[in-house]
Amino acid sequence: MTELAKNIRELKSILYGNSESEPVSEACVQLTQEFFRENTLRILIACLLQLNLEARKDATQIVANLRRQQVNSRLIASDYLGKNTDLLDILVAGYENTDMALHYGVMLRECIRHQTVARYVLESPNVKKLFDYIQLPYFHISADAAATFKVKHDWQRY
């Protein structure tokens, strides 16, 4: 797990740069292509529970960044998520784990910023689950679920 956390930190450094250098766009494009080609998002979500807190935060930031990366003027994250909607179901269900809910919530919000992905969540039974999570007695989880619903609600206006 220590080695995995180190690799995740390196991925984040490629995407965000570090104190000494800015990110290199060609490296970001290559990383984005490999990330989705090799199903790394699936792996990252699957092992999120085993990561330490810092690695979880880094993983969440990686997902947020890759969601916005364009390859040949296309957001390939949207295509990938459209073909792997089961990952969205996993992210929504992540609200059930009080220790992980906020990490899954951030990832879910980033993913549903793609209109086709948001449509999937809105038309699935997951939308009812979000209402259930909003009513949980844990304020941090209910507030996060409400924020996620608001992102989905914003897409309904389009």
Domain with residue 131: its CATH number is 1.25.10.10
- Domain hosting 136: range is 2-156
So what's the pLDDT on residue 156? 45
Task: Name beta bridge partners: 71.
Answer: 74
pLDDT on residue 1: 83
Amino acid sitting at position 30: Q
**Low-confidence stretches of the chain (pLDDT beneath 70):** 152-158
- Distance between CA 116 and CA 78 in Å, rounded? 7
For residues 92 and 135, give the distance between their C-alpha atoms in angstroms, rounded to a whole number: 15
How many domains, the chain?
1
pLDDT tens per residue, range 4-50: 899 999 999 999 998 888 999 999 999 999 999 999 999 999 889 99
Q: Residue 126: its pLDDT value, please?
A: 83
Q: Which amino acid is at 154?
A: D
Q: What is the pLDDT of residue 24?
A: 93
